[in-house]
Chains A and B, each alone.
Chain A
């Protein structure tokens, strides 16, 4: 692709502005030095509803949204692409139910990571380690997806098409360095502040794209007609070759299970990721989260429109064998250069924010649940913050390994692969919020079974061009349908956990100590609007401001 000078100039200006905000953010709302984990990694736990909305939305709104989902819609259609809409709707009721409890218990006990909670709940260092390890592992392909997103827009702008492999990797290296530098210096405040700019840009681009592009293409009716024609043509070609088409306009009887399990599994997985939990814990009050879930579906709506960009690319006659370039190429074809530059910047910044949040979360896990737990129990707070900063760099190198080691054309698979692993922590974290009937050793063995099965199955998924990790669905035993590996592995995980729990519950004394009490799951700060009133009336309420 040839270099697009105007787009590149606009992109560089916007990106430079955001980078400066990122570095300056270290001083935003600072009440204490940044050398403790609470300050560096949770922004001082001081964020109100508005900032929390942006932060939580940022978790959802990543390169996954702008690159992977339209790419999947473009190449594969409804089942592998549109399921993301069902997924991002179903995630909010799950947040509504689970996250206030996690906020309360974490607030009460000073938990920073999901692994902290599990360790305290089950009195098991080993289980805490398993949860921490899974979090770090699962975040790597997810961060890798963000790097792939940035790489995609740089590529479409004409960078990284050089002859040598070094020149081809330049975009990736640039993305990597910027991300690493400002997370290191500013911690969570950087992505939180940039999230405002990011959302403004993203909304601008999305609103323009979903109005302007359909007008150019003759309306949504025309777009869907073109996609239907494309689907029929793909089916005819496949029939001639005696294969089946991989593109689907609608889920067929063979893919109902795949669609439903991908949606449900992804929805259950999202808030098991440590970075999503970070966004939740950084909020100031328990009910901030619930109130937000009413407005957060706006992000899901945006995602749906962005998904349709993949279909618009088909209607616009975009041809690429690299589906992750579908949306950027559509921008290039449809927008004037300067606005294409804005759009690329929106995508790149939209990848940068979550990547920063994710690497901070993974670093926290390492510091609190591996370093302090097993290596240096007497680490000082400033030492912890320092270790976290370095760990955040290491995690990014892990992400880089995924970019280089796995086929990234089917970018959505990077996120689905992370989901297979992270969902294995669901019994310990999500079910643990309500009951601790499960035995800690049952949870560990169940986790192990789920991890091994899930990894093995995903490794075995191949296409003619990609030998391993080519997709995230496989045959579900007993049911005999194709489904998301994450959920099948979770079922195995639960069966093992339950069986082991029943057996071990027979021998008392092996159940670990629980540091939490039932009341811890519903505590909230004194309500700042309510407290003065209560005080006035001389009833309960301490009137202390949070």
Chain B
């Protein structure tokens, strides 16, 4: 499940940025900057956020679970989710 969500998150920037006709417009402008330009930058931020979530899902989360399991404070099994 973590893989599917991560794939969707990481894939979204490709769909958004490669579908050029969807954003090759002058308006609406933002502070005088045409839509095409600020929308690209917006996706830079969104993509970075997506990567952060994917990192949490695939790497940091499982590691935290392993630590918790190792301490024996977790009600769940020792198994944890493999990366």
- The answer to whether the Cβ of A259 comes within 8 Å of any Cβ in the partner chain is yes
- Given the complex, which residues of B lie within 8 Å of A297, measured CB to CB? 44-45, 47-48, 51
Besides A260-B17, A533-B71, 11 new A-B residue pairs in contact (Cβ under 8 A), listed by A number: A82-B37, A93-B11, A93-B13, A219-B32, A221-B32, A228-B26, A250-B36, A260-B20, A294-B51, A297-B48, A539-B70
Q: Are B47 and A92 in contact (CB under 8 A)?
A: yes
Can you spell out 11 A-B residue pairs with CB atoms less than 8 angstroms apart? A86-B40, A89-B40, A92-B47, A97-B10, A221-B29, A224-B34, A260-B18, A264-B14, A294-B48, A300-B44, A537-B70
Q: How near does chain B come to A211, taking the closest CB pair, in angstroms?
A: 14
Q: Which of A221, A295, A530, A534 makes the CB contact (< 8 A) with B31? A: A221
Q: How near does chain B come to A401, taking the closest CB pair, in angstroms?
A: 35
- Given A96-B54, A250-B34: A301 touches B13 (CB 8 Å cut-off): no
Query: How long is the Cα–Cα vector from A222 to B11 in the complex, in angstroms?
Result: 35
Interface residues of B in 1-40 (CB under 8 A from A): 10-11, 13-14, 17-21, 24-26, 29, 31-34, 36-37, 40
Q: Are B66 and A86 in contact (CB under 8 A)?
A: no
Q: Are B59 and A290 in contact (CB under 8 A)?
A: yes
Chain B at the A interface: mostly helix, strand, loop or mixed?
A: helix
- The answer to whether the Cβ of B81 comes within 8 Å of any Cβ in the partner chain is no
- The answer to whether the Cβ of A85 comes within 8 Å of any Cβ in the partner chain is yes
Q: How near does chain A come to B30, taking the closest CB pair, in angstroms?
A: 9
- Given A78-B36, A533-B70: A253 touches B41 (CB 8 Å cut-off): no
- Given the complex, which residues of B lie within 8 Å of A295, measured CB to CB? 48
Q: Are B32 and A89 in contact (CB under 8 A)?
A: no
Interface residues of A in 250-304 (CB under 8 A from B): 250-253, 256, 259-260, 263-264, 287, 290-291, 293-295, 297, 300-301, 304
Central interface residue in B29, B32, B43, B45, by most chain A CB within 10 Å? B32
Query: How long is the Cα–Cα vector from A291 to B54 in the complex, in angstroms?
Result: 10
Q: Give B43-65 as 1s and 0s: 1 = Cβ < 8 Å from A's Cβ atoms.
A: 11101101110110011000100
* Closest B residue to A300 using CB positions: B44
Q: Which of B10, B11, B25, B59 makes the CB contact (< 8 A) with A287? A: B59
Q: Which of B14, B21, B47 makes the CB contact (< 8 A) with A253? A: B21
Query: How long is the Cα–Cα vector from A439 to B39 in the complex, in angstroms?
Result: 42
- Given the complex, which residues of B lie within 8 Å of A435, measured CB to CB? none
* Closest A residue to B12 using CB positions: A93
* Closest B residue to A257 using CB positions: B20
* Closest B residue to A524 using CB positions: B83
Interface residues of A in 219-255 (CB under 8 A from B): 219-225, 228, 249-253
- The answer to whether the Cβ of A527 comes within 8 Å of any Cβ in the partner chain is yes
Q: Are B55 and A294 in contact (CB under 8 A)?
A: yes
Query: How long is the Cα–Cα vector from A224 to B35 in the complex, in angstroms?
Result: 11
Q: Which of A93, A222, A223, A536 makes the CB contact (< 8 A) with B14? A: A93
Q: Are B72 and A537 in contact (CB under 8 A)?
A: yes
* Closest A residue to B52 using CB positions: A294
Q: How near does chain A come to B35, taking the closest CB pair, in angstroms?
A: 9
* Closest A residue to B63 using CB positions: A530
Q: Are B33 and A221 in contact (CB under 8 A)?
A: yes
Query: How long is the Cα–Cα vector from A92 to B45 in the complex, in angstroms?
Result: 12
* Closest A residue to B68 using CB positions: A533
Q: Which of A92, A224, A293, A527 makes the CB contact (< 8 A) with B33? A: A224
Q: Are B55 and A251 in contact (CB under 8 A)?
A: no
Q: Are B40 and A82 in contact (CB under 8 A)?
A: yes
Q: Give A72-94 as 1s and 0s: 1 = Cβ < 8 Å from B's Cβ atoms.
A: 00000010001001100110110
- The answer to whether the Cβ of A513 comes within 8 Å of any Cβ in the partner chain is no
- Given the complex, which residues of A lie within 8 Å of B70, measured CB to CB? 530, 533-534, 536-537, 539, 541
Query: How long is the Cα–Cα vector from A93 to B7 in the complex, in angstroms?
Result: 9
Q: Are A263 and B26 in contact (CB under 8 A)?
A: no
- Given the complex, which residues of A lie within 8 Å of B31, measured CB to CB? 219-221
Q: Which of B17, B44, B55 makes the CB contact (< 8 A) with A263? A: B17
Q: Give A475-513 as 1s and 0s: 1 = Cβ < 8 Å from B's Cβ atoms.
A: 000000000000000000000000000000000000000
Q: Are B47 and A537 in contact (CB under 8 A)?
A: no
Q: Are A96 and B20 in contact (CB under 8 A)?
A: no
Q: How near does chain B come to A520, taking the closest CB pair, in angstroms?
A: 14
Q: Are B47 and A256 in contact (CB under 8 A)?
A: no
- Given the complex, which residues of B lie within 8 Å of A304, measured CB to CB? 40-41, 44
* Closest B residue to A93 using CB positions: B10
- The answer to whether the Cβ of A522 comes within 8 Å of any Cβ in the partner chain is yes
Q: How near does chain B come to A162, taking the closest CB pair, in angstroms?
A: 40
Q: Are B26 and A250 in contact (CB under 8 A)?
A: yes
Query: How long is the Cα–Cα vector from A293 to B10 in the complex, in angstroms?
Result: 12
Query: How long is the Cα–Cα vector from A301 to B41 in the complex, in angstroms?
Result: 7
Q: Are A539 and B78 in contact (CB under 8 A)?
A: yes
Query: How long is the Cα–Cα vector from A97 to B8 in the complex, in angstroms?
Result: 12
- Given the complex, which residues of B lie within 8 Å of A293, measured CB to CB? 51, 55
